[in-house]
């Protein structure tokens, strides 16, 4: 009777250990799969273009590695981003005028 | 007899005095050199005043432009931290040195020194000839980089939308062609921007006139800008095309549901 009781105790302990090990395996596997899923989700939107300027520009915006949400694909969001690009291009035209006026600046010699 | 002697002596002295060339020399030739020296001094003083006023104006124009450039460098988003720090430091040094030069010019008392100091406004700094075109070109390159990032992000999302429409058996040939053009123009704008940056980043006053380098970089910025404008137009056309396709698909499904 005593022997049977010890046997049952040992069996209980062994089962508990097996359950704990299985739980740990599931947690580790879950974490691995979650991490893998995140990486592929972040990388997907930008596969079409290689950001060639990032190598020499440590301060380049991180938009390339940020996951897009569903609303980012909407007409309004895309239209808005294209409008922003238009504003940037207007600023670029202003900067180009600055370059041209600077390059054409007359040098006035004060000693003449 | 004594009176006669004294009178004769007086007459002889008077005649001698009148005929003495030394007297003429003293009375006639002493005045003109003094006048000439004074006139020369007045002219020189006037010239120095004029040079100082003009030099001060030239320095003030440059100080204003340099302060604007300082703000522009501070706002740059893609210029590397190292280059930002380098150019900020250079502008600040130029501003400090030009302020010192202005004080020196204002206190110059020698014309030759003043002329040399005034000429150094150009020869030592080349603010308008090299430095400001360089800063504005780097600012343009910065805007090009930000815009290319923006358009690349839009392109990636447009591609997803096109693929979604393709899976619904829509004809996306034209949209794909526009997307390919958008991507290639965006990539080329980055290439042009990087090439322009490489050309101007290391220019210094010693490289004056460097006109060919500046013209070349300017030409690359123009090409890159045109690339970005075309890429943006492609993006707008793709978006318009997607709207039309999706509207047609929605109408078709409504018609099918009503049958």
Q: What pLDDT sits at residue A64? A: 39
Q: What angle do CA B116, B63, B127 make, to 5 degrees?
A: 60
Contact criterion met (CB < 8 Å) for A111 and B118: yes
Contact criterion met (CB < 8 Å) for B190 and A109: no
Contact criterion met (CB < 8 Å) for A68 and B228: no
Percent of chain B residues topping a pLDDT of 70:
87
Q: Is B186 on the interface with A (CB under 8 A)?
A: yes
Minimal C-alpha gap between A31 and chain B (Å): 28
Contact criterion met (CB < 8 Å) for B143 and A81: no
B125 CB-near residues (< 8 Å, 6+ apart)? B62, B94, B97, B98, B131, B205
Q: What pLDDT sits at residue A47? A: 28
B chain contacts of residue A110, beta-carbon cutoff 8 Å: 51, 54-55, 57-58, 118, 121
Nearest one of B113, B62, B119, B111 to B91, comparing CA atoms: B62
Name the residue facing A78 among B51, B154, B221 (closest C-beta). B154
Instruction: Flag the least confident range among A6-10, A35-39, B96-100, B171-175.
Output: A35-39
Nearest one of B130, B27, B112, B145 to B69, comparing CA atoms: B130
Structure ipTM: 0.72
The C-alpha atoms of residue A45 and residue B158 are separated, in whole angstroms, by 10
Contact criterion met (CB < 8 Å) for A59 and B143: no
- For chain A, the average pLDDT equals 67
Nearest one of B110, B75, B188, B92 to A91, comparing CA atoms: B75
Three-class secondary structure of residue A48 per DSSP: coil
pTM: 0.66
Q: Is B244 on the interface with A (CB under 8 A)?
A: no
Name the residue facing B157 among A45, A89, A95 (closest C-beta). A45
Minimal C-alpha gap between A59 and chain B (Å): 5
- pLDDT (tens, 9 = 90+) of chain B, 259 residues, equals 455 666 565 556 555 545 554 444 444 455 567 777 888 889 999 999 999 999 999 999 999 989 999 998 998 998 889 889 999 999 999 999 999 999 999 999 999 999 999 999 988 888 888 888 899 999 999 999 999 999 999 999 999 999 998 988 888 999 999 999 999 999 999 999 999 999 999 898 888 888 889 999 999 999 999 999 999 999 999 999 999 998 888 888 788 777 7
Nearest one of B137, B101, B116, B161 to B217, comparing CA atoms: B137
Helix and strand counts by DSSP (H, E) for chain B:
8, 0
Q: What angle do CA B8, B9, B15 make, to 5 degrees?
A: 90
The secondary structure of B47-109 as a DSSP string is HHHHHHHHHHHHHHHHHHHHHHHHHHHHH-SSS-HHHHHHHHHHHHHHHHHHHHHHHHHHH--
B56 CB-near residues (< 8 Å, 6+ apart)? B102, B105, B106
Q: Is B71 on the interface with A (CB under 8 A)?
A: no
Contact criterion met (CB < 8 Å) for B145 and A102: no
Minimal C-alpha gap between A30 and chain B (Å): 28
Nearest one of B238, B187, B246 to A78, comparing CA atoms: B238
A66: nearest CA partner in chain B: B153
pLDDT band at A101 (very low <50, low <70, confident <90, very high): confident
B chain contacts of residue A45, beta-carbon cutoff 8 Å: 153, 156-157, 160
Question: How do residues A14-28 score in pLDDT, each as one tens digit?
Answer: 777 877 888 888 777
Q: What pLDDT sits at residue B4? A: 63
Q: What pLDDT sits at residue B15? A: 55
Choose, out of A49, A68, A83, A89, the residue to mutate when testing the contact with B (most B CBs < 10 Å): A49
Helix B173-200 and helix B132-167, axial crossing angle in degrees, nearest 10:
160
The C-alpha atoms of residue B189 and residue B183 are separated, in whole angstroms, by 10
Minimal C-alpha gap between B23 and chain A (Å): 45
**Residue A15, CA distances (Å) to A4, B72, B113 in order:** 16, 70, 98
**Residue B237, CA distances (Å) to B114, B163, B177 in order:** 62, 16, 11
Helix B81-107 and helix B111-123, axial crossing angle in degrees, nearest 10:
160
Interface of A with B in 42-101 (CB under 8 A): 45-53, 56-61, 63-64, 68, 72-73, 75, 77-79, 81-82, 84-86, 88-89, 91-93, 95-96, 98-100
The C-alpha atoms of residue B61 and residue B239 are separated, in whole angstroms, by 47
The C-alpha atoms of residue B104 and residue B114 are separated, in whole angstroms, by 9
The C-alpha atoms of residue B112 and residue B91 are separated, in whole angstroms, by 28
Contact criterion met (CB < 8 Å) for A111 and B129: no
The C-alpha atoms of residue A46 and residue B154 are separated, in whole angstroms, by 10
Percent of chain A residues topping a pLDDT of 70:
54
């Amino acid at each position: 009777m005593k022997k049977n009781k010890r046997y049952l105790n040992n069996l209980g302990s062994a089962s508990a250990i097996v359950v704990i090990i299985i739980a740990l395996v599931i947690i580790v596997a879950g974490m691995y799969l979650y991490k893998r899923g995140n990486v592929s989700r972040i990388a997907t939107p930008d596969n079409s273009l290689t950001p060639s300027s990032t190598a020499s520009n440590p301060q380049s915006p991180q938009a390339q590695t940020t996951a897009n949400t569903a609303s980012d694909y909407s007409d309004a969001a895309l239209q808005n981003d294209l409008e922003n690009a238009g504003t940037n291009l207007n600023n670029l035209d202003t900067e180009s005028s600055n370059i041209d006026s600077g390059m054409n600046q007359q040098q006035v010699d004060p000693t003449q | 007899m004594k009176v006669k002697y004294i009178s004769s002596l007086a007459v002889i002295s008077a005649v001698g005095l009148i005929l003495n060339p030394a007297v003429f020399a003293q009375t006639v030739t002493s005045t003109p050199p003094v006048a000439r020296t004074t006139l020369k001094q007045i002219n020189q003083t006037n010239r120095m005043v004029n040079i100082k006023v003009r030099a001060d104006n030239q320095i003030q124009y440059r100080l204003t432009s340099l302060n604007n450039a300082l703000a522009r460098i501070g706002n740059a988003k893609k210029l590397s931290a190292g280059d930002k720090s380098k150019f900020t430091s250079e502008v600040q040094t130029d501003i400090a040195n030009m302020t010192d030069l202005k004080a020196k010019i204002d206190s110059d008392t020698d014309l030759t020194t003043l002329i040399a100091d005034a000429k150094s406004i150009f020869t030592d700094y080349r603010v308008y000839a090299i430095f400001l075109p360089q800063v504005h070109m780097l600012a343009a390159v910065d805007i090009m980089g930000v815009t290319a990032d923006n358009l690349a992000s839009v392109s990636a999302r447009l591609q997803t939308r096109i693929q979604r429409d393709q899976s619904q058996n829509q004809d996306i040939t034209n949209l794909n062609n526009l997307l390919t053009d958008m991507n290639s123009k965006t990539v080329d704008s980055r290439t042009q921007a990087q090439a322009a940056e490489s050309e101007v980043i290391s220019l210094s006053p010693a490289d004056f006139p460097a006109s060919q380098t500046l013209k070349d970089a300017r030409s690359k910025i123009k090409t890159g800008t045109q690339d970005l404008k075309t890429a943006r137009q492609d993006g707008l056309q793709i978006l318009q095309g997607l709207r039309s396709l999706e509207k047609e698909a929605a109408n078709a499904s409504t018609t099918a549901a009503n049958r």
